[in-house]
Structures are given as structure tokens and as C-alpha cells.
């Protein structure tokens, strides 16, 4: 044999050994998100009285993180976009759940559309690696170009016309064929209940059985919805999680029936903190003359505007280069920070926001103390501080321990019972890309080195 060929074969063999078994061969991946899943609810399930056998089995049979440090802010849409791109919000462009809408004309519109997302995704990477791709309800997925089969997340009013909108935006014919298989209408996009998740999981299992996608994302919203309503760790939230655990079992069984060699990952976007106080930054900015209202209490003009993000809030200037305006806003925030009732933990300026990969449109970003939540726009009559109207919230800066999220991964060639410790959320996408023999060259963290590690449990 030619000596050059021998050397090439030896190099390939060495690379395969270093990378670990199966690392050079693309494998299918099922990625499930359970919105708001706290790592302790899985890792300490027995202590917390939770019956989650499927999630616990993933810990025992695969790799898991003790916590995932998220992004600024720890909200659903920015975090889910980081989970499939490996970059922070400043890079991918999804800087909040809702778009910036200072005059409140977009009817609470969210970042539904993939065209707003600027970074390469796992859908793109899997498609380019030759895998078919699918999605059920993942955020920021409307008109995502690399999806072979897409049931995107979108809603408007909850009216029956929302179903027509979703059917028009989904892959042509997909809703009809899956509704035929499941003998049930597809859940409305606005439905965040566990029953809605159970419906979508049936549709996802049917999609997997019918089409056997090489990479599929599935998003489950019910736990987050319940934690907002009754608080993290409440009896109602725990009951919801136990029902979602059954869905993880259903989806995993469907995926393994279609692809016995598949890797299955369960992630979450953020943790949760119990809440007691609501802070209305709009009140302070109206009183300071930075926001003016018309006779109907609607925004008529603004110089600076809060952009709430749960446990934090960005602040945008109408004239970003106006140093006098910036100083004026800073003075208002400093005064608020000096008031213990307002519960401000810290105030970041634009340079500090950039260092954390946060919203580049924001001149300032305020983090509230755990237990406090920033109010959405509430007109002229709402007070500066009042009791919280929700029992749980996220959206704080990512270093708050309660904001840690979850990462679990099982599959052939991965060690059993491996604890990864605490990881960066941006490392998840390149790790899954590696399993699919796909490429995410712009990710801001390297893939996790998990294949050849020995179990620590």
C-alpha cells in the first residue's frame, strides 16, 4: 500500500480514538425542552418528593449538569435561541421574549419569526450535514428555512383563526396528516397548559414515527406556566412536572423506535424564583417626564423606555448618542436603586451589558433582587411598587443561582452516570452538533468533552 495512504489511515484512526466511539459518525438527535425545569427537581427528585422516573433514568444512564449558567436575560426566547446556536443574545439577536414596542401597537407581539435570528442554528447545521430536520413548537421557529417539517410556535389572540394561521405557517399538509394520525386537533399556540403539552407530544411522536427526522426539537411549556401561577416547587408545579416526565418517556420511546442509535437531550431555558414584589419602572419614567401619555393613557411620546424582562429590565434611549439624556436616565435609576422598596440588585451600563452578551439596544440594564419582578406597561394609574401578581419568575441576570437550568443527555457511546458539574448554556449546541457530525463554527463555547470521560458516580 502507498506509504502516504498508510499515514493518512493512521491519522484517521488516531483521530477516532481521541474523539471517542461514535464521535465521527453522525447520529440522530431528539432535543426536548421543558421550560423552567430546575436541575434540583431532577437531581434531588427523591428529596423533593417528585416521581420523575424517565428524567432520573437519563441521569443514571447518561450525562447531566448540576446546573447550566444561562444568558442575559434568563427568558424563554433568548435562552432557547442560545440553546440551538451556542451564542449569546447580543450575537443571535433575540434579546427578549417580546419585541421592543414603546407605543404598545404590536398587541404584545413576540419574537416568533426566524428571520429575526442572526446566528447559525442546529437546524442549519443538521440540514447541512445531510440530516432531515423537524420541529414542534420551539420558540423563534416561524419560517425557519432549514426545517424539513415544522410546526412553529405562534399565536395572536386565542381565537379560532389562530389555528388557520399556524396551519398556513407550518409545513404544507403537516398539520392535516398529523391531526389524522392523532384523531385530535393540534393545540393552539397560546395554550401553555400541560394538556397542550400532552397534545403536542402526541403530534411529535406521530411525526417521528411517520418521517423519522434526523434531528427534531420539541418544546414543552406547561411547567413554566404553572410555576408562574403557583410558584416553583408548589404542589401544582410538581404534579405538572410528573406529567411532563411521562411525555419524555413517550418521546424517547418514539425516537428510539425510529432510530435505535439516537441521542436524546433534555434541556431547560432557565430556573425559577418565588416572587412577592412587582416593580413598575414605567411609573418612575412617567413621573420623570421621560414618557408622556395621551388622554387615553397610551404612550404619546418617549425619551427613554423600560423594556421589562421578568426579573430584570432593559432601558432604551430614543436618542442613544444623547449624553444629557443618558445622564438623566442614570439619575432616575440611581434614585430608584437607593430605595430599598424597589429591590434593585444592580444597574449595568452599555459596556457592562456588552460584556455579558446582553441587549445591544439597551443603554442600561437593571437586575432586581430575587423575589421581585418588573411590571409590563400598566398605564398611568399603577403604583411604583405593589405585591406581585405572579408567584414565580425568571429573567434575572444569569449569575443568580435560582436561574440555573437543566441539561441531560443519553445515547450510545456516552458514559453512564456522568456529572458534568456546572456548564455554560452556550456549550450545549456545539455538543449536540458534534453528535450529529455537524458544524457550528461560530459557537462561543467549545463542545463538552464527554465521550471518553469515565463515570464519576
65-78 confidence digits (pLDDT tens): 999 999 999 999 99
The three three-digit cell numbers of residue 4, written as one number: 502516504
CATH number of this structure's domain 277-389: 3.30.1360
9 — pLDDT class (breaks 50, 70, 90): very low
The domains of the chain are located at: 21-273+401-435, 277-389
What is the CATH T-level fold of the domain 21-273+401-435, as seen in this structure? Alkaline Phosphatase, subunit A (3.40.720)
CA 349 from centroid of its chain's CA atoms: 25
Looking at the predicted structure, is the pLDDT value of residue 5 above 90? no
Answer for the pair 403, 70: CB distance below 8 angstroms, yes or no: yes
> Model confidence over 24-49: pLDDT tens digits?
468 999 999 999 999 999 999 999 99
- Alpha-carbon distances of 333 from 224, 272, 282, 327, 349, rounded to whole Å: 30, 25, 12, 10, 11
Sole residue written with cell 403536542: 200
Convert 54-73 to b/e letters by CB count within 10 Å (16 or more is b): bbbbbbebbbbbebbbbbbb
CA 146 from centroid of its chain's CA atoms: 19
Q: Residue 157, SS3? A: coil
pTM for the whole structure: 0.93
Looking at the predicted structure, is the pLDDT value of residue 428 above 80? yes
> Model confidence over 230-244: pLDDT tens digits?
999 999 999 999 999
The three three-digit cell numbers of residue 303, written as one number: 425619551
DSSP state string for 380-408: SS--SEEE-SSSEE--S-TTSGGG-B-EE
Per-residue pLDDT, averaged over 127-142, amounts to 98
Query: Which residue from 151, 258, 172, 148 is spatially nearest to 212, judged by alpha carbons?
Result: 258
Answer for the pair 445, 407: CB distance below 8 angstroms, yes or no: no
**For 290-397, where are the alpha helices, taking DSSP H only?**
323-337, 350-355
| The pLDDT of residue 26 | 83
| The pLDDT of residue 69 | 98
127 — pLDDT class (breaks 50, 70, 90): very high
Is residue 419 exposed (0-12), middle (13-18) or buried (19+ Cβ within 10 Å)? middle
Q: Residue 30, SS3? A: strand
- Alpha-carbon distances of 449 from 23, 87, 271, 318, 454, rounded to whole Å: 11, 18, 24, 45, 11
Report the percent of the chain where pLDDT is more than 70: 93
User: Across all residues in the chain, what is the average pLDDT?
Assistant: 93
What value, to the nearest 5°, has the Cα angle with vertex 246 and ends 243 and 249? 160
Looking at the predicted structure, is the pLDDT value of residue 452 above 80? no
Looking at the predicted structure, is the pLDDT value of residue 423 above 70? yes
Per-residue pLDDT, averaged over 69-92, amounts to 98
Per-residue pLDDT, averaged over 131-157, amounts to 98
| The pLDDT of residue 381 | 87
| The pLDDT of residue 355 | 98
Average the pLDDT over each of 12-26, 186-200, 263-277, 398-412 and give the range with the smallest value.
12-26
378 — pLDDT class (breaks 50, 70, 90): confident
| The pLDDT of residue 451 | 55
The three three-digit cell numbers of residue 162, written as one number: 389562530
379 — pLDDT class (breaks 50, 70, 90): confident
Pairwise CA distance, residues 413 & 424, whole Å: 23
Amino acid at each position: 500500500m502507498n506509504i502516504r495512504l498508510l499515514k493518512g489511515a493512521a491519522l484517521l484512526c488516531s483521530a477516532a480514538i481521541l474523539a471517542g466511539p461514535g464521535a465521527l459518525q453522525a447520529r440522530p438527535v431528539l432535543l426536548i425542552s421543558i421550560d423552567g425545569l430546575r436541575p434540583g427537581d431532577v437531581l434531588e427528585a427523591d428529596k423533593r418528593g417528585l416521581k420523575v422516573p424517565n428524567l432520573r433514568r437519563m441521569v443514571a444512564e447518561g450525562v447531566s449538569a448540576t446546573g447550566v449558567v444561562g444568558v442575559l436575560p434568563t427568558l424563554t426566547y433568548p435562552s432557547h435561541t442560545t440553546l440551538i446556536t451556542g451564542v449569546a443574545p447580543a450575537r443571535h439577536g433575540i434579546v427578549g421574549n417580546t419585541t421592543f414596542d414603546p407605543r404598545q401597537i404590536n398587541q404584545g407581539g413576540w419574537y416568533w419569526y426566524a428571520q429575526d435570528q442572526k446566528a447559525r442554528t442546529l437546524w442549519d447545521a443538521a440540514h447541512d450535514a445531510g440530516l432531515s430536520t423537524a420541529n414542534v413548537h420551539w420558540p423563534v421557529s416561524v419560517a425557519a428555512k432549514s426545517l424539513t417539517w415544522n410546526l412553529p410556535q405562534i399565536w395572536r389572540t386565542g381565537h379560532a383563526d389562530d389555528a388557520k394561521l399556524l396551519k398556513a405557517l407550518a409545513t404544507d399538509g403537516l398539520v392535516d396528516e398529523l391531526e389524522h394520525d392523532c384523531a385530535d386537533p393540534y393545540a393552539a399556540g397560546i395554550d401553555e397548559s400541560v394538556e397542550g403539552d400532552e397534545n403536542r407530544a402526541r403530534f411529535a411522536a406521530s411525526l417521528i414515527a411517520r418521517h423519522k427526522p434526523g434531528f427534531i426539537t420539541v418544546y414543552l411549556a406547561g411547567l413554566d406556566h404553572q410555576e408562574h401561577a403557583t410558584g416553583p416547587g408548589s404542589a401544582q408545579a410538581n404534579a405538572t412536572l410528573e406529567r411532563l416526565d411521562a411525555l419524555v418517556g413517550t418521546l424517547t420511546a418514539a425516537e428510539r423506535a425510529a432510530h435505535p442509535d439516537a441521542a436524546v437531550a433534555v434541556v431547560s431555558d432557565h430556573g425559577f424564583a418565588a416572587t412577592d414584589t412587582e416593580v413598575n419602572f414605567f411609573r418612575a419614567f412617567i413621573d420623570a417626564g421621560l414618557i408622556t401619555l395621551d388622554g387615553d393613557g397610551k404612550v404619546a411620546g418617549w425619551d427613554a423606555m423600560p423594556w421589562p424582562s421578568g426579573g430584570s429590565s432593559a432601558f432604551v434611549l430614543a436618542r442613544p448618542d444623547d449624553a444629557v439624556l443618558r445622564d438623566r436616565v442614570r439619575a432616575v435609576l440611581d434614585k430608584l436603586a437607593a430605595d430599598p422598596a424597589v429591590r434593585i440588585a444592580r444597574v449595568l451600563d452599555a459596556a457592562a451589558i456588552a460584556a455579558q452578551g446582553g441587549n445591544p439596544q439597551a443603554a442600561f440594564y437593571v437586575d432586581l433582587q430575587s423575589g421581585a419582578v418588573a411590571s409590563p406597561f400598566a398605564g398611568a394609574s399603577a403604583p411604583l411598587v405593589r405585591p406581585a401578581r405572579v408567584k414565580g419568575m425568571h429573567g434575572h441576570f444569569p449569575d443568580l443561582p435560582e436561574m440555573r437550568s437543566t441539561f441531560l443527555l443519553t445515547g450510545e457511546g456516552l458514559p453512564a452516570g456522568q456529572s458534568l458539574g456546572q456548564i455554560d448554556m452556550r456549550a450545549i449546541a456545539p455538543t449536540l452538533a458534534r453528535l450529529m457530525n455537524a458544524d457550528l463554527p461560530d459557537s462561543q463555547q467549545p463542545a463538552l468533552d464527554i465521550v471518553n470521560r469515565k463515570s464519576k458516580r
